């Protein structure tokens, strides 16, 4: 046991040094953020895959985020909306998308849900799904966990150039979104900038291994970087346009939420704000926890349906929402049901 304890710090230091050198070689900007990438160290394998994809796209050291803006393969029809929700999803997660369509995505009109996906061996099936439901946005990049940042950049590009709305929500396909509560917040709060769960406020970091726990203890000594959790964050329309420009000037890293809400936000001078209604990563235990929350983390398809059946307030905002749109858009506003 003592022999292992002596080796562990050495292994950790060598691993961390390797990853830092790898990021410096391809990604740059390590000193500025002190390598505090999320709560845990990004494994070198993930970094290698991310920067290998960038190199294949012509990226070289010193280049900025313009390389992340890829062409669109499949694009959904543009439906005028008050809130556009973009859900990062993997091609294989068919059941998750089905559960979302059958639960929180059907509650209210003037809110549009779009699933953001990359390319994979399942492209034929994705094309059929897109033709059937009209809610798939696919970009020309490899779909992998290490490439989540491509999905969020595609989201910003589509929102700003093809189909904007007063507000945008980015979330994932394992997240339950309390649409009525979120809409009520937007109507009465009129938030600006980026709003989500501020990760720098976290007091108990998530660490899945000894190495990541040691990394947390090491890098927590450095001043935390302010960014909001990628599980769900809100962007106001004008801020989305600024963020798109900011992302083209920021050095890419494979951590989606940190890249968008910290690096891009700093370049664009877009402010972030914390709101307790957004999940910071804690798993949802009981449906009643969603009564006043905006997002619930790690919700399986079956649990989504449980929450949908329990929900007591699904239609209570229809009248208020309808009146708001009459005031906002005049007689051309779509009728709510």
| Backbone phi, psi, residue 313, to 5° | -125, 20
- Say if residues 240 and 156 touch (Cβ distance below 8 Å): yes
- Say if residues 182 and 235 touch (Cβ distance below 8 Å): no
Transcribe 231-257 into DSSP letters.
EEEEEEHHHHHHHHHHHHHSPP-S-HH
Query: What is the Cα–Cα distance from 137 to 139, expressed in whole angstroms?
Result: 7
Give the other-Cβ count within 10 Å of 126's Cβ: 22
- pLDDT in 10s for each residue of the chain, 337 residues: 445 444 445 544 455 555 444 444 444 443 334 334 443 434 445 577 788 888 888 888 888 999 999 999 999 999 999 999 999 999 999 999 998 998 888 867 799 999 999 999 999 999 999 999 999 999 999 998 888 999 999 999 999 999 999 999 999 998 888 888 899 899 999 999 999 998 776 544 444 334 334 333 443 444 567 889 888 999 999 999 999 999 999 999 888 999 999 999 999 999 999 998 888 766 665 556 666 788 876 655 655 555 555 444 444 434 444 444 444 444 433 333 3
- Burial of 300: CB neighbours in 10 Å, binned 0-12, 13-18, 19+: middle
- Burial of 209: CB neighbours in 10 Å, binned 0-12, 13-18, 19+: exposed
* Second CATH level (architecture) for the domain 2-310: Alpha-Beta Complex (3.90)
**For the chain, domain boundaries:** 2-310
């Amino acid at each position: 046991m003592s022999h292992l304890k002596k080796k562990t710090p050495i292994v950790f230091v060598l691993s961390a040094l390797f990853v830092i050198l790898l990021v410096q070689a391809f990604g740059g900007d390590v000193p500025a953020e002190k390598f505090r990438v999320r709560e845990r160290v990004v494994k070198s394998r993930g970094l290698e895959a991310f920067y290998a994809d960038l190199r294949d796209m012509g990226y070289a050291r010193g280049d900025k985020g313009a390389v992340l803006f890829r062409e669109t393969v499949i694009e959904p029809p543009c439906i005028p909306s008050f809130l556009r929700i973009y859900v990062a999803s993997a091609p294989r997660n068919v059941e998750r998308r089905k559960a979302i369509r059958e639960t929180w995505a059907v509650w209210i009109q003037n809110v549009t849900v779009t699933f953001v996906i990359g390319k994979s061996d399942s492209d034929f099936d994705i094309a059929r799904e897109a033709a059937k439901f009209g809610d798939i946005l696919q970009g020309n990049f490899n779909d992998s966990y290490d490439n989540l940042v491509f999905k969020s950049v595609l989201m910003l590009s589509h929102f700003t150039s093809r189909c904007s709305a007063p507000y945008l929500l980015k979330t994932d396909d394992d997240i339950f979104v309390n649409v009525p509560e979120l809409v009520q917040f937007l109507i009465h709060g009129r938030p600006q900038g980026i709003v989500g769960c501020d990760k720098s406020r976290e007091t108990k970091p998530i660490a899945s291994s000894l190495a990541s726990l040691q990394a947390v203890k090491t890098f927590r000594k450095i001043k935390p970087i302010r960014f909001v959790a990628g599980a769900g964050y809100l962007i106001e329309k004008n801020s989305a346009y600024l963020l798109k420009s900011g992302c083209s000037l920021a050095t890419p890293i494979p951590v989606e939420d940190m890249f968008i809400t910290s690096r891009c936000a700093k370049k664009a001078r877009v402010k972030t704000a914390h709101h307790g209604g957004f999940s910071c990563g804690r798993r949802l235990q009981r449906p009643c926890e969603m009564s006043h929350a905006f997002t619930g983390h790690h919700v399986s398809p079956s649990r989504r349906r449980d929450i949908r059946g329990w929900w007591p307030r699904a239609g209570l905002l229809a009248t208020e929402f309808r009146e708001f749109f009459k005031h906002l858009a005049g007689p051309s506003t779509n009728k709510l049901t």
